[in-house]
Structure 1
Amino acid sequence: MADAVAAEWRKLRSVRSTYVVLSVTAAFTGIVLLLAVQMAHVWDGLSAERRADLLLRPLQELGGWVASLCMAVLGVLFITSEYRTGMIRTTFAALPRRGRLLAAKAAVVGTVALVAGQAVTVGSFLGTRLVIGDRPFPDQQGSIAHDLPSFVMAGATVPVFALLGLSFGVLLRSAAGSIVSVVFLWHVLPLLVYHLPHPWDERIGSVLPGGLATQMAGLGANNSIYGDLLSPGAAAAVMLAYVIVPLGFAASVLVRRDA
């Protein structure tokens, strides 16, 4: 297994798209910080009455939100690029046990997504806090120790999207189709659920992957399109299911289907 993981790690580093996706992810952290600088400048020019309407937290959360999509794209390209070039036949010849191959790919892309996700989400949070300094934004009254767990959890959900992308890539063998599927689950489906009648909007929204991080951290979902009906343990179990079930289905298809 270690040899398979090492081979997949070398393969991931040899693909140019890996560096493009990681560069976009890192660049967006810089964009978040620049927007925080702009918001701090706007804050300084507002009257005391209007400052109560200026919120920062949605800006902080953009980093992890975009990182989820970027890592999902990375997961898709990690497998579909081999189907596109025909290298998948060579890969299967070198490692006939396809279940082990998928596990190695999942380990590599999941680890990269976890590191990138934590760097972006925590970096966006701490960076924006540093930028605003002691300005009392209405949604920044909590201490760093109080707010940090939710961003750490948000970073922990980024690998879920990367592994979903990998699973869709195996199942569809199409980069375009897989990316569309991930985007639907990442952004379109939550918006559709948000417009469902109550209580179905909250019930379904609570089990969508984008809403699991705050529930795992034990925080509410105020001003969110997601629900918050799950306990931290239940939210963690649902997040694990988003990894295990699609990967298990993808492994089953990969073993049975011709290259």
Structure 2
Amino acid sequence: MNLLAVERIKLFSTRSPWWCALITLALSVGFAAIMAGATEPTDPVTISATQFGASQFGIAVVMVLAALAVTTEYRFNTIRTTFQAVPHRSPALVAKAAVVGLLSLVLGEIAAFGAWGLGVVMRPNDNLGLHTTQDWLNVAGIGPVFALSAVLAVAVGILVRHSAGAIALLLIYYLAVEELVQLIPKIGAHIHEWLPFNVANKFLRGSEVVNGPAPSDSPLSPGWALAYFAGIAIVFLLVALGVAKKRDA
């Protein structure tokens, strides 16, 4: 518990988490307002459309937040003090991942329900009620995906250690690589089915094909999709912990 408290203090004593949190909320709610305002009255807005900002851009900002939580310590050499206090290193890094993940979970839920609530207010005649399990996953599922994305970003931050490099790697992969993989002849579509953020999208949206972001082509069910995404995040974190133990701070 002491490690969690220390990591919480370190995280909230810098400005970047606050700015990233505000940007995430602004993007999530802002895109919901755009979707609700720009769509013709005869064309109903869907629940997943209200989550466009959170599911497409909010995740990117959360990963920036998580990567900075680690790389900033390497940049200013405060990580050395942390490792002197916790020689085994892994507990401190796991505590950091837990704190960042919990913050991202809460931030995701606030962003998702805020965007959905705004959609309900702006489009009261559309069917935006949370009536089915998939409806709830569209909204409440944003928090777990944010949390796991943050853990994955912490792992990448530990491995890369440089802010610019970690952020560039995360954003390029998230915003471009998974889509570009589909262009590989013959095998691209099959590889894309198992890429992490595509699978996470299956958890959020199921097989929905109506208005909103393109659905995932993953063959997994929503429940297994979340488990798969969580497994990838945990594997990356374990690899990062192993590397952190073996190299100099």
TM-score under structure 2 length normalisation: 0.87
Q: Show the counterpart of 1:144.
A: 130
| Structure 2 contact 50–116 (Cα < 8 Å) conserved | no
Asked if 1:252 is matched to 2:238, the reply is: no
Q: Secondary structure at the match of 1:246?
A: helix
Q: How far apart are 1:197 and its partner, in Å?
A: 5.0
Alignment partners' CA distance in 2, 1:104 and 1:241: 18
Which 10-residue stretch deviates more, 54-63 or 223-232? 54-63
| Structure 1 contact 29–63 (Cα < 8 Å) conserved | yes
Alignment partners' CA distance in 2, 1:218 and 1:187: 18
Q: Show the counterpart of 1:211.
A: 198
What amino acid sits opposite 1:39 in the alignment?
A
Q: Secondary structure at the match of 1:144?
A: coil
**Could you say if the C-alpha distance between residues 142 and 23 of structure 1 is closer, same or farther in structure 2, counting changes exceeding 3 Å?**
closer
Unaligned runs of 5+ residues in structure 2 are none
Q: Show the counterpart of 1:163.
A: 151
Q: Show the counterpart of 2:59.
A: 68
Q: Secondary structure at the match of 1:18?
A: helix
Give the counterpart of 1:90 among 64, 78, 81: 81
Alignment partners' CA distance in 2, 1:128 and 1:208: 30
Q: Show the counterpart of 1:118.
A: 109
Give the RMSD, CA atoms, in angstroms: 2.4
Which 10-residue stretch deviates more, 22-31 or 98-107? 22-31
Q: Show the counterpart of 1:241.
A: 231
Which 10-residue stretch deviates more, 189-198 or 113-122? 189-198
Aligned length: 243
Alignment partners' CA distance in 2, 1:159 and 1:246: 14
What amino acid sits opposite 1:122 in the alignment?
F
Which 10-residue stretch deviates more, 14-23 or 126-135? 126-135
**Could you say if the C-alpha distance between residues 89 and 26 of structure 1 is closer, same or farther in structure 2, counting changes exceeding 3 Å?**
same
**Could you say if the C-alpha distance between residues 154 and 84 of structure 1 is closer, same or farther in structure 2, counting changes exceeding 3 Å?**
same
Q: Show the counterpart of 1:180.
A: 168
Unaligned runs of 5+ residues in structure 1 are 45-50, 136-140
Alignment partners' CA distance in 2, 1:156 and 1:212: 13
Alignment partners' CA distance in 1, 2:167 and 2:179: 18
TM-score under structure 1 length normalisation: 0.84
Alignment partners' CA distance in 2, 1:92 and 1:254: 10
Instruction: Give aligned-pair identity as a percent.
Output: 28
| Higher Rg | 1
Q: How far apart are 1:127 and its partner, in Å?
A: 1.8
**Could you say if the C-alpha distance between residues 78 and 220 of structure 1 is closer, same or farther in structure 2, counting changes exceeding 3 Å?**
same
| Structure 2 contact 62–146 (Cα < 8 Å) conserved | yes
| Structure 2 contact 151–233 (Cα < 8 Å) conserved | yes
Q: How far apart are 1:4 and its partner, in Å?
A: 0.7
Alignment partners' CA distance in 2, 1:62 and 1:209: 19
